[in-house]
Structure 1
């Protein structure tokens, strides 16, 4: 642990708890809180999606007030701290606003602090870079990172005198509020720029288009194929080849960070081998991403695709870049959604329905001109977005720097007359020791019923 300013003390989160029964608790697990218990109104259930990094997110779920009474041991009140024990950013925490009756769900930890500890101070301490570095070594699990309740109890928190806590929090929140306003403004600009990009794509290709354009269909403008179906028998074999799937295809971008392989005999591989200029589209996705297209530009070489993707290979009077533009236009104009069928919340675009979608074909020279113009305008937007994202990264760095300065005691001046923290912590410790221990009443276990023997 690092050296603290004069008058400060290290404590664990457990040292700061209120002197009452169950000042820290997680939510009910398993069958105690299942989907059948949820209702349209009643008491709120605080879930992982409610816990932003320092912000309470108003995502709503309810159980009946009658069932709330059965789960009251997991109750949350306004001013409590809730901490996520599962997720990519840990410990992620926020302060609960006044939302009425509420409980925490599994993987959410409710913390009720002693009234002489400023809950905002502890919240910012959990967000501080030093705390994140400390807890990083305690997180367990691959794919589902978890910080258990026992580890959360032992998180070290630097505690200044009570008056200094409040002074630092006031100064910190003043700085962070200005930074937050600037960050929100930047996010709003990015959203407007992305909407502008969609508008450019939709407006660039009017349908049906000018009189010198020919209106065709996707099936007549080029060749459409569905990729090879995956099968467990082909996970290993003598002819392992890479393939692209829906997880690799984003709008105007193919992600090659996780390319898989399967066994492709030569004659089968030839059928599904990609050629530079092929357009790949998501065959099955959530509706807003259905038909998300990207062009295969020749890398990596010798690669195929699966039946989660549709392939369009342009005809002689269609430029591949034009086809990509048309499909991006159709996706943002929600044209593909009119052709879908829905299975288990996933929208599917069959090859036959895709082939029937209208496809405008201007003269080749005009295709090239429109593609060049749209690419230039979209590139300008992307440069603007990249510049803003750099500012957002700088804002995040400034936020971390402010937190570091606050917890190093450099944000406000100290008052030598403040009560030392050691006395505050000792007072909290004595109050908690004086708290009567609760006794759990054991329910008698049910004896197994003897089965009647047939003689």
Structure 2
């Protein structure tokens, strides 16, 4: 942060904790890990704010977990309510902040989330939240975690963050302008992300069109008009099978000769025929195509298993594993080695244009394929991968197109077996899969057309990515201007921020003099409010928003925290007793906005 001399007129710079009446109670983190375990999560109850729910200036209401009312009561110190600032203190990047949403009356924090609650009217929570997400504060988080492999800050460091406080009227002007500018920026970002999503869908539709023959339908029509003689897919398959058997027989005869033996009777009958495709329920292919199996279209080989005895040896060979094989991309930034005997190396070595598929993966990514193009000379592979080596007349890039389609369409998922949360493709199951086979010439045309289309998509995606990066820079420019006092005009008549800080300190000193409210007194006050809640719902006689019901009881945001939490607990109790109906109200996109309540007759 800049020095005091660089501050705008009327501003001050203080530690974050100084902006709270009770820093020790108002700025807290979640419970120690053992006090809130994942095994205690339930399907409904009090929501939990986790790291994945917090983004910059946005609460992500996805994959919400819950705890019981009893557990929430036990963790009362670690709760949040609407308009609390939620801050991440773990992750990369850390220090992301958002306001707790209004449709969650109360919730519980996890250990690596901080809640900052402003209980006075001299600092705007949105002003503070935006500032935490600005470069000024982000850079402080980076400085505190420099050199660490797992970025994390503690609560003391968060309370010590250097923050700027503007005059109250200027805070309001800044927040209003930020909301205006950032909302416009958010609309642009949403449009870019929607376009990004459409391109991903378009890529998938192109893969589907390629392997179903619709992509090259005009090409086939042109070939018919030219009366071009082309080997059909069925003829190609017959040739592949004949050539494969011929190679096997030649290899067997060479082996007999090497052993000085005559071929035994009926030795050709031992030929291992490749798996036939199961064409039941398969769609009709375009004219000139044929159904084969993966096993017929090439050679399927599962990699070698890692074992302690291979960790060292005289023939250490680099090997690829799941972590190296992404969709249509081999990553050799992290490659390991193990010992392979000469025989094993010959079996498991990779050749140019071999296709590698993830054998074990998450269900969505199982079978993720890429072509090995000699990125790492003299490489082998482990049994976390399956190698597919095409027959000579099957173009590897065409096979890759098919396998990418199978991954995205769910075909690989349907044959995968799940063990210990890992989906396994299985070399045998993979070999049995159907393989649509066009002529070699049409395979080449499919690869060419798809390559051209994908190149255009890549250009559009790069342009979108540049737009998104520009929006990030623009957002930070806006925030930088806001907290440099340059976003809105300053008013010399605004009350100096130092006066606000004095009031906060005076309130802190005054609260320190007051004896703590005894629990028995608190319970009586809460019981009175709960009784009033039932009266409010009875008087309404119909549906009423939960926050409105609280307001009619005299409880509003930023006020009586204990009462709000107890009211919410009472609502749950009334619901269980069958006296309360609760219905969520959602927007047009199906996102929950708030709950509405109705008291039922006994």
TM-score between the two structures when normalised by the length of structure 1: 0.93
Query: 1:302 deviation in Å?
Result: 1.1
Matches within 5 A, 1:106-145: 106-113=111-118, 114-139=120-145, 142-145=148-151
Gaps of 5+ in 1: 442-455
Distance of 1:140 and 1:231 partners within structure 2:
37
State whether structure 2 residue 299 is matched by structure 1 residue 299: no
Q: Say whether residues 1:84 and 2:56 are aligned partners.
A: no
Which residue number in structure 2 is paired with residue 103 of structure 1? 108
Once the two structures are TM-superposed, the CA of residue 266 in structure 1 deviates from its matched residue by 3.1
Deviation digits for residues 107-137 of structure 1 (CA, Å, limit 9, x no counterpart): 1111112331011111111111121112212
Once structures 1 and 2 are overlaid, which stretch shifts more, 229-238 or 309-318?
A: 229-238
Over residues 307-335 of structure 1, what are the superposed CA-to-partner deviations in whole Å (9 max), with x where a residue is unaligned? 11000000122111111111112222211
Aligned residue in 2 for 1:432 = 508
Contact persistence 2:90–2:152 (CA under 8 A): yes
Distance 2:440 2:199 in 1: 29
Q: How far apart are the structure 1 equivalents of 2:397 and 2:134?
A: 47
Q: How does 1:378-389 map to 2 (within 5 A)?
A: 378-389=454-465
> What residue in structure 2 maps to residue 199 of structure 1?
205
| CA distance in 2 between partners of 1:116 and 1:122 (Å) | 11
Aligned residue number for residue 14 of structure 2: 11
Corresponding pairs, count: 441
Equivalent residue, structure 2, for 1:338: 414
> Matches of 1:64 and 1:332 in 2, distance apart?
38
Structure-2 residue corresponding to 1:189: 195
Per the alignment, residue 248 of structure 2 pairs with: none
Once residues 30 and 388 of structure 1 are traced to their aligned partners in structure 2, the CA distance between those partners, rounded to angstroms, is 40
- For the pair shown, which has the larger CA radius of gyration, 1 or 2? 2
The CA distance in 2 between the partners of 1:373 and 1:20, in whole Å, is 63
Higher percent of residues as helix: 2
SS at match of 1:116: coil
Q: What is the deviation of 1:142?
A: 4.2
**Quick check: 2:326–2:369 contact (8 Å CA) kept in 1?**
yes
Distance 1:321 1:101 in 2: 54
| Aligned residue number for residue 296 of structure 2 | 220
2:182 to 176, 185, 196: 176
**Aligned with 1:11: secondary structure?**
strand
Name 1:402's counterpart in structure 2: 478
In terms of mean alpha carbon deviation, does 118-127 or 267-276 score higher? 267-276
CA separation of 1:171 and 1:434: change in aligned 2, threshold 3 A: same
Q: Which of the numbers 121, 142, 153 marks the counterpart of 1:147? A: 153
Contact 1:19–1:431 (CA<8 Å) still a contact in 2?
Answer: no
Aligned-partner Cα distance in 1 for 2:54–2:423: 30
Q: Residue 167 of structure 2 corresponds to which residue in structure 1? A: 161
* Matching residue within 70, 77, 94 for 1:73: 77
DSSP 3-state at the match of 1:22 = helix
- One of 44, 49, 53 as aligned partner of 1:50: 53
Preserved contact between residue 202 and residue 329 of structure 1 (Cα < 8 Å): yes
TM-score normalized with structure 2 length: 0.71
Instruction: Find the residue that maps to 2:28 and give its secondary structure.
Output: strand
Shift of 1:90: 2.0
Q: Is the 8 Å Cα contact of residues 332 and 375 (structure 2) preserved in structure 1?
A: no
Match in the other structure for 1:63? 67
Contact 2:13/2:163 (8 A) holds in 1: yes
**What do the CA deviations read for 1:54-81 (whole angstroms, capped 9, x no partner)?**
2111132111112222211112111101
Whether contact under 8 Å (2:46, 2:67) holds in the other structure is: yes
Q: Is the 8 A contact 1:208 1:360 kept in 2?
A: no
For the Cα contact (< 8 Å) 1:83–1:108, is it kept in 2? Answer: yes
Superposition deviation, residue 219 in structure 1? 0.8
Q: Deviations along 1:137-163, whole A, 9 cap, x unmatched?
A: 212784431011111010111111111
User: Alpha carbon RMSD of aligned pairs, Å?
Assistant: 1.9
Where does residue 38 of structure 2 map in the other structure? 35
Q: 2: distance between equivalents of 1:311 and 1:279?
A: 6
**Contact 2:21–2:505 (8 Å) recurs in 1:** no
Q: Spell out, residue by residue over 1:13-72, the C-alpha distance to the aligned partner (whole angstroms, 9 max, x if none).
A: 101113487111111123321234322222111111211122111132111112222211
- CA–CA separation in structure 2 for the residues paired with 1:19 and 1:222: 70
CA distance in 1, matches of 2:511, 2:11: 26
Render the CA deviation track for 1:168-193: whole Å, top value 9, x for unaligned: 11112211110000000000011011
CA distance in 1, matches of 2:207, 2:80: 48
